[in-house]
Amino acid sequence: MKQIKMTVLSNTSVGHDTFEMILTGDTILRSGQFIELQLPNKYLRRPFSVARYKDNTLTLLYKVLGAGTSDMTEVGFGTVFDVLSELGNTFDISNVTSPLLIGGGIGIAPLFNLANDFAEKGITANVILGFRNKDEMFYVEEFKKIANVTIATDDGSFGFAGNVVECLKRSNIAYDKYFACGPMVMLKALASHSDMGELSLEARMGCGFGACMGCTIQTTKGYARVCKEGPVFKASEVIF
Amino acid sequence: MNTKINLFGYELKNPVIPASGTFGFGYEFAEFYDINCLGSISLKGSTIASRYGNPLPRIAECPSGLINAVGLQNPGVDKVISDEIPHCKKHFSGKLIANVGGHSVEDYTSAVAKFNDCEDVFAIELNISCPNVKGGGMAFGVDPTTAHDLVVAVKKISTKPILVKLSPNVTDIVAMAKACENAGADGISLINTLLGMRINTKTGKPIISVTKGGYSGPGIFPVALRMVYEVANAVSIPVVGMGGVSSAYDVIEMMMAGASAVMIGSANLIEPFACKNIIENLPVVMKELNIQNLNDIIGRSFK
């Protein structure tokens, strides 16, 4: 954990109720880790996964879900945030040669940095991105530059008609490990289909650094805090 | 300038104590700063058997605070004594306050008894005010007779001073405090969280999995201050004040209301360095307010 000030470089809409915020500050983040922003007029910090990190520059993708994220859309260039950075654990990509990245909705965010990690290692990842419908798609072009992308939409308005787990079952994508982030219901279905992967979980957090036990889940290894032992867990260990 | 205070015969280097449930077993915060600056630590609430607590979500944002419904997640008293306290002691040289919760008188007495031989613990905080445990916890904290009988039973078996943590979710906080004092309590700590709830307006359903939870944060500070004032006026045992304390000014205000020591809760969750910052600011604020010795201001508002 590191407490720093981060300055907003840009904050733009990238899709339906979905925004990209780029910040700069003195921190080093690895795929899977998250940060917590102290928003004005909100008590609790807000946790965000890291969609891209490079050279002290951080990209967040966020969906407007409540008052906090709604306020965030108004934030402009030069705004300084108090940030807790370098929180949580990381994806384990050691010995992975055929990665499959599976994201649902705003859950695609941490997978973008991961796809870049693989690209930098000379590995083109297969990626399945799931959205409710065509209008809610975002960041697809960015992913296409570095990965093989398959799209699934719940209503069939673009790509595969159905959710990402159904899409995976119908596809013949070969992989030695998957990495997934998205709604709990998606992760649960995925874990019951295959335990050959890692899940990045989301939770309402109190502190974000292991103090309050507000985000504890049950795993085969005992109680685990999403913010501290996670947010990345082996699919085989999460008890849904 | 003197920030030292005395609690149950122990000298604490300052009155600042992280509140139970917001500081784990201390060592998480030792990653951020040297926790030896703290007066003491009130450890995560412990029960005789281990508890997972409530399903998620356990946390909801509120104006000037948060609601939590963790539900006393803890590894059980035996593990707290064998693993957690030794881990904490690697980073903290002072004495600790153990915090005990339960569903029955026997739960409390058997848990408290286990701490009798734990030298690192100088006092037991009896949590009779947790709003997040079904069929227990707060039930002991809303009726003076029930609280009295529990404290009598615990005092019979405990070799440590007993600090009873009161719930604000009562009509008459003074009656509760007096019942505990009459039963032999060595001190009163207050306030625990205020019962509250939030609803997700998109779904129309409560945000917290178990509907209700405990509201804490700066929003409850005036309520806490008033209750500390009333209780300190009415009892002759030490009062430990808490509820939304976020700054050195708040610490001083709480002591002027009658608190001999002050616990910091929610502030730790949004600002990991909260206690350290408050402790460092305390002498600065004391100088500004011309306070030489913190002991001089305890209860100044009514003395």
Query: How high is the pLDDT of residue B113?
Result: 97
Tell me, rounded to whole angstroms, the distance of Cα B296 from its chain centroid. 23
Angle value at C-alpha A173, between A169 and A176, nearest 5 degrees: 105
Is the model's pLDDT at A219 over the cut of 90?
yes
As beta bridge partners, residue B61 has B66
Nearest one of B191, B163, B172, B210 to B65, comparing CA atoms: B191
A217, B56: Cβ pair inside 8 Å?
Answer: yes
Q: In terms of CA atoms, which chain A residue is nearest residue B67?
A: A206
Is the model's pLDDT at B1 over the cut of 90?
no
Condensed to tens digits (0 to 9), the pLDDT of residues A76-110 reads 999 999 999 999 999 999 999 999 999 999 999 99
B21 touches chain A (CB under 8 A): yes
What pTM value is reported for the model? Answer: 0.95
* Measured distance CA(A214)–CA(A203) in Å, rounded: 9
Query: How high is the pLDDT of residue B131?
Result: 66
Q: Which two tokens stand for residue B293?
A: 């010795």
Q: Which domains does chain A have, with CATH numbers?
A: 2-87 (2.40.30.10), 99-200 (3.40.50.80)
- Mean pLDDT, range B116-136, rounded to an integer: 83
Query: How high is the pLDDT of residue B25?
Result: 97
Condensed to tens digits (0 to 9), the pLDDT of residues A9-56 reads 999 999 999 999 999 999 999 999 999 999 988 999 999 999 999 999
Handedness of CA B269, B70, B102, B254 (dihedral sign): positive
Out of B62, B88, B118, B130, which one is annotated catalytic? B130
B94 SS3 class? coil
Nearest to A211 among B23, B58, B62 (CB): B23
Gyration radius of chain B over CA positions:
18
CA distance A238 to chain B (A): 14
Query: How high is the pLDDT of residue B139?
Result: 76
Q: Which band of pLDDT confidence, cut at 50, 70 and 90, is reported for residue A66?
A: confident
Residues comprising chain A, all counted:
240
Kindly list the distances between the CA atom of residue B196 and the CA atoms of A44, A161, A179, in Å, as whole numbers in the listed order. Answer: 16, 43, 38
Q: Is B275 a catalytic residue?
A: no
Condensed to tens digits (0 to 9), the pLDDT of residues B191-250 reads 999 999 999 999 999 999 999 999 999 999 999 999 999 999 999 999 999 999 999 999
Condensed to tens digits (0 to 9), the pLDDT of residues A178-189 reads 999 999 999 999
Question: What percentage of residues in chain A have a pLDDT greater than 70?
Answer: 100
Chain B positions touching A205 (Cβ under 8 A) are 59
- Mean pLDDT, range B138-142, rounded to an integer: 81
Contact (CB, 8 A) for B216 and B193: yes
As beta bridge partners, residue A83 has A4, A37
* Measured distance CA(A61)–CA(A11) in Å, rounded: 10
Q: Which band of pLDDT confidence, cut at 50, 70 and 90, is reported for residue B129?
A: confident
Chain B positions touching A39 (Cβ under 8 A) are none
Q: Which band of pLDDT confidence, cut at 50, 70 and 90, is reported for residue B134?
A: low
**Phi, psi (5° rounding) for residue B37?**
-70, -15
B22, A213: Cβ pair inside 8 Å?
Answer: no
CB–CB contacts below 8 A, A to B? 86
* Measured distance CA(B241)–CA(B296) in Å, rounded: 16
* Measured distance CA(B230)–CA(B170) in Å, rounded: 13
B61 touches chain A (CB under 8 A): yes
Query: How high is the pLDDT of residue B132?
Result: 64
B59, A209: Cβ pair inside 8 Å?
Answer: no
What mean pLDDT, rounded, does chain A reach? 97
Superfamily for the B5-56+71-192+217-297 domain: Aldolase class I (3.20.20.70)
Condensed to tens digits (0 to 9), the pLDDT of residues B82-107 reads 999 999 999 999 999 999 999 899 99
What mean pLDDT, rounded, does chain B reach? 95
Is the model's pLDDT at B154 over the cut of 70?
yes
A59 touches chain B (CB under 8 A): no
Query: How high is the pLDDT of residue A237?
Result: 97
Nearest one of B156, B137, B160, B167 to B81, comparing CA atoms: B160
Is the model's pLDDT at B133 over the cut of 70?
no
Tell me, rounded to whole angstroms, the distance of Cα B260 from its chain centroid. 13
CA distance A120 to chain B (A): 32
Chain A positions touching B66 (Cβ under 8 A) are 43-44, 206
Report which secondary-structure segment, H or E, holds A5: strand A2-15
